[in-house]
Amino acid sequence: MLVVLFVPSVERDGSTAVDQSRRVDASLEMFGRVFGGATAYPKAKGIWRDDERGGALIKDEAVVVHCYTTPPAIEDDSNLAELRSFCRKMGREARQGEIGLVIGDEYFAIRDFGEG
């Protein structure tokens, strides 16, 4: 099962840089600890539409992190809780509108960055 996480390069305002290198390293460590490993690919050029800000288009050079794992590992409640917590924390700290996560062939737009 493939899990893909997009690590942003800018905050939601589209111009303030985030510490992407630190976030990529933290992502790799989390995936290694929870699912056994991951690979980060060089920056990808992308764009995201922020509907809550009138459809503003945010250009980004995200790093794409790929993690291959087993269905039992991704279905484990504690593993999912750690992944969810990690994505929410990144969203809060990097001041994002959305954190993109793909599990299998399903895209999850994580917008709730609460700690619960």
- CATH number reported for the structural domain that contains residue 65 in this entry: 3.30.70
75: DSSP letter = H
Residue 116 lies in a domain: no
As for how many domains the chain has, the answer is 1
Residue 97 lies in a domain: yes
Evaluate whether 90 touches 99 at the Cβ level (below 8 Å).
Answer: yes
Residue 115 lies in a domain: no
pLDDT score, position 15: 95
Q: How confident is the model at residue 115 (pLDDT cuts 50, 70, 90)?
A: confident
Average pLDDT for residues 62-76, to the nearest whole number? 97
Q: How confident is the model at residue 35 (pLDDT cuts 50, 70, 90)?
A: very high
Radius of gyration of the chain (CA): 14
10: DSSP letter = B
The model's pTM is 0.94
Quote the domain boundaries for residue 11. 2-110
Residue 12 lies in a domain: yes
> Which helix (DSSP H) or strand (DSSP E) does residue 82 occupy?
helix 77-93
Residue 68 lies in a domain: yes
The predicted-structure confidence for 48-60, as pLDDT tens digits, reads as follows: 999 999 999 999 9
The pair of structure tokens assigned to 89 is 């924390």
Residue 21 lies in a domain: yes
Indicate if the pLDDT at residue 23 is higher than 80.
yes
Q: How confident is the model at residue 116 (pLDDT cuts 50, 70, 90)?
A: low
Residue 76 lies in a domain: yes
